[in-house]
Structure 1
Amino acid sequence: MSLFQQRKNKRFNYIPRHLKDAKGEDNLKSKWDTVRRHGKHKSKRTLSLPVLLVILGMIIVLWYILIHYEIS
């Protein structure tokens, strides 16, 4: 009775591109190291949050001083 039997899933012989390489794990490690190095250099260019808050505080203090200087 093939009426009640479920169809079996098809099997494919697919190998992902990153597994086709002969180097395999070594190649993945070297790629990961280069990505990590590039990430570190990128973070040095941006200003950190505490530095931005100090700059904002200095601007507010300067603004306050200039407003009261104008009134006097």
Structure 2
Amino acid sequence: MNLFQQRKNKRFSYTPRHLRDSDSSLDDNIKSQWETVRSRGKKGSKSSNKLILLLIVLGMIIAVWLILNHYEIS
């Protein structure tokens, strides 16, 4: 009777990509590309931080100017 017998697990002969044989030159190429992407990202984040800081300071200057201008009129 097949009613009470459990099915056997299927077996696959799969090898993941990182375990397959590959050229080391391809790995070096990927590493160099990753380093260039990382270095570009760092430069962009620094300039965006400076821009945000500049906008905050500009907003504070405008707020103080409006407050002082209001006291001058009153």
TM-score range, shorter chain: 0.5 to 0.7
Q: CA RMSD in A?
A: 3.2
Query: Comparing both chains, which one has the higher relative contact order based on Cα–Cα distances under 8 Å and sequence gaps of 6 or more?
Result: 1
With normalisation by structure 1, the TM-score equals 0.59
- Give 1 or 2: higher helix fraction: 2
Counterparts of 2:21 and 2:70 in 1: how far apart (Å)? Answer: 69
Gaps of 5+ in 2: none
Counterparts of 1:67 and 1:20 in 2: how far apart (Å)? Answer: 74
Equivalences for residues 29-44 of structure 1 within 5 A: 29-44=31-46
Tell me how far 1:61 sits from its aligned partner. 0.8
With normalisation by structure 2, the TM-score equals 0.58
Counterparts of 1:20 and 1:70 in 2: how far apart (Å)? Answer: 79
Tell me how far 1:68 sits from its aligned partner. 1.6
Gaps of 5+ in 1: none
